[in-house]
Amino acid sequence: MRFPHDFFFGAASAAYQVEGAWNEDGKGVSNWDVFSKIPGKTFEGTNGDIAVDHYHRYKEDIRLMAEMGLESYRFSVAWTRIIPDGDGEINPQGLAFYNALIDECLHYGIVPFVTLYHWDLPQVLEEAGGWTNKRTVDAFSKYATTCFKAFGDRVKHWITFNETIVFCSLGYLDGAHPPGISHNPRLYFQATHNVFVAHARAVEEYKKLRQYGEIGITHVFSPAFPADGQADNAQAADHANQYSLAWFYDPILKGAYPDYVVGQLKERGWTPDWTAEELTVLKWAAPKNDFIGLNYYQPQRVIKHNPTAEDKPAAQQVIAGAPGKVSFDGVYKTVSLEDKKYTKWGWEISPEGLLEGLRMLRGAYGDIKLYITENGLGDQDPVENGQILDADRVEYIREHLKAVKQGLREGLHIKGYYAWSVIDLLSWLNGFKKQYGFIYVDQQNNLTRKRKLSFGWYKQVIANRGGEL
């Protein structure tokens, strides 16, 4: 079986991670421009000031994408290039850059798939409370509409937000992303709600313009499975799925929050400040949302957290050495299992988790339209005699594409696969040590681009429409 002709073989990036040119051509300052420069916040103090200089080298990069046969390029727009202070004047030079990038893609027949928000918020808005302030929702609406009007004649695929759970939880629970706040569930839930409303408003604006493209959102897809057959671990996994899946997917697809979580937030005093009008907007937008983008890296293996039994692991022998991470609400713990494979950064490699998760998603939401908007292997690639032999990445992507193919056989409505990432780029917290790309960037040699082993392999896959998988 080959992949259908209307299935996109793509690859992705995000503005802050590739562009650089952080203060050029009228660009405003983003929260990441500031946060990454606070000592100790990022790996070896790396930041996106230069990143991989895609801003100046996009023509070369897109030429390489075309050589690979890439059908679609998912990239994000930096809000601060379009509206430097968040909600004021539009910067014509910012529009010019993305116009040129889009046109370059189209020149080679590469379909642009545009993310409006991949974490780089104008710093002015961050200082005013970021996503916890409803003013940011209004500002986003204006920014999104500006992009639709400027690029919508050529861009027909829009993602509003990338991974709400990540930027909100790392920003308000773990303190690892801006604004660097820890242990504040109240702000965390408020921020997520405001993002969902911003998404719904953008859907509303987009549909009003009648540009006849599609618009959706990208979520982390990390389905939780119990680590073993114990009943309380199964319950813990259900709880994890309510908080990490239902809370994010329900408001987008059903237009209402899951009762289970809403009830608990009330008891715990974490209910966001929401208005009847906002809840109506969510309801109105849900049936108009065209697709969900899934970023799949790994599933969660879950056990019930039992603080009094730390020295006796609850799920017995199956749990490998690592202590695991306790959920922010103390209910469950994610663990590593002895019989699973892991990347060098300890992320589980589980193509079967993707397939099982997709089936779970169909059970919960029916036959929705899906794109895999990110999936890939973060590795320190082996370089031998100047060749980048990333055979492990080939294996990783091959196995995940096979899972996608199986999903298609089962009738799932998956319309594309975007490998993360098209080119080596800046990892938010892991700097340049962790690589994901098909295209290597030589940090020691003026950021020279080189084709990796995986580049030629993906090219073949695309040429054969995955027939050999």
Q: What gap in Å lies between CA 170 and CA 183, rounded to an integer?
A: 10
Residue 118 or 304: which CB sits closer to ligand BG6? 118
Q: Which tokens in the block code for residue 92?
A: 């014509």
Q: Give yes or no: 267 in active site.
A: no
Cβ contact 1:409 at 8 Å = yes
434 binds ligand BG6 (CB under 6 A): yes
Choosing from 129, 234, 430, 442, the residue that interacts with ligand BG6 (CB under 6 A) is 430
Choosing from 30, 222, 244, 295, the residue that interacts with ligand BG6 (CB under 6 A) is 295
Query: CB 460 → ligand BG6: shortest distance, Å?
Result: 25
Residue 81 or 434: which CB sits closer to ligand BG6? 434
Query: CB 385 → ligand BG6: shortest distance, Å?
Result: 27
Q: What is the DSSP letter of 316?
A: G
Catalytic residue among 71, 163, 348, 374: 374
Q: What gap in Å lies between CA 369 and CA 257, rounded to an integer?
A: 20
Q: Which tokens in the block code for residue 378?
A: 């973060």
Residue 62 or 166: which CB sits closer to ligand BG6? 166
Provide the Cα torsion 236, 238, 240, 246; round to 10°: -160
User: Residue 106 phi/psi, 5° resolution?
Assistant: -65, -30
CA 365 vs CA 176, 215, 220: distances in Å: 32, 18, 16
Residue nearest to ligand BG6 (CB): 427
Choosing from 378, 407, 437, 466, the residue that interacts with ligand BG6 (CB under 6 A) is 378
Size of the site for ligand BG6 (CB under 6 A): 14
Residue type, position 437, single letter: G
Q: Which tokens in the block code for residue 43?
A: 């790996």
Q: Which tokens in the block code for residue 465?
A: 């429409």
Please return the burial class of 430, using the count of CB atoms within 10 Å of its CB with bins 0-12, 13-18 and 19+: middle
CA 34 vs CA 42, 126, 127, 168, 410: distances in Å: 12, 10, 11, 17, 46
Residue 113 or 420: which CB sits closer to ligand BG6? 420
Query: CB 17 → ligand BG6: shortest distance, Å?
Result: 6
374 binds ligand BG6 (CB under 6 A): yes
Task: Give residue for tokens 């390489």.
Answer: 64
Length of the chain: 469
Within 335-354, the residues that bind ligand BG6 by CB under 6 A are none
Choosing from 429, 432, 442, 450, the residue that interacts with ligand BG6 (CB under 6 A) is 429
Q: For 48-98, what is the HEC assignment?
A: CCCCCCHHHHHHHHHHHHHHHCCCEEEEECCHHHHCCCCCCCCCHHHHHHH
Site track for ligand BG6 across 385-424, x = CB under 6 A:
-----------------------------------x----
**Pairing of β 111-117 and β 414-420:** unpaired
Site track for ligand BG6 across 126-165, x = CB under 6 A:
------------------------------------xx--
| Segment near ligand BG6 (CB under 6 A); pick from 32-40, 89-97, 426-434, 459-467 | 426-434
Cβ contact 69:459 at 8 Å = yes
| Segment near ligand BG6 (CB under 6 A); pick from 64-72, 125-133, 307-315, 428-436 | 428-436
Choosing from 18, 83, 166, 419, the residue that interacts with ligand BG6 (CB under 6 A) is 166
Q: Is the peptide bond before 179 cis (omega within 30 degrees of 0)?
A: yes
Q: What is the DSSP letter of 245?
A: I
Q: What gap in Å lies between CA 280 and CA 269, rounded to an integer?
A: 23
427 binds ligand BG6 (CB under 6 A): yes
Within 14-43, the residues that bind ligand BG6 by CB under 6 A are 14, 17
Choosing from 189, 248, 257, 428, the residue that interacts with ligand BG6 (CB under 6 A) is 428
188 binds ligand BG6 (CB under 6 A): no
Residue 148 or 436: which CB sits closer to ligand BG6? 436
Within 59-118, the residues that bind ligand BG6 by CB under 6 A are none
Residue 304 or 434: which CB sits closer to ligand BG6? 434
Radius of gyration of the chain (CA): 21
Q: Under DSSP, is residue 429 helix (H, G, I), strand (E, B) or coil?
A: coil
Q: Which residues are catalytic?
A: 374
For ligand BG6, the binding residues (CB under 6 A) are 14, 17, 162-163, 166, 295, 374, 378, 420, 427-430, 434
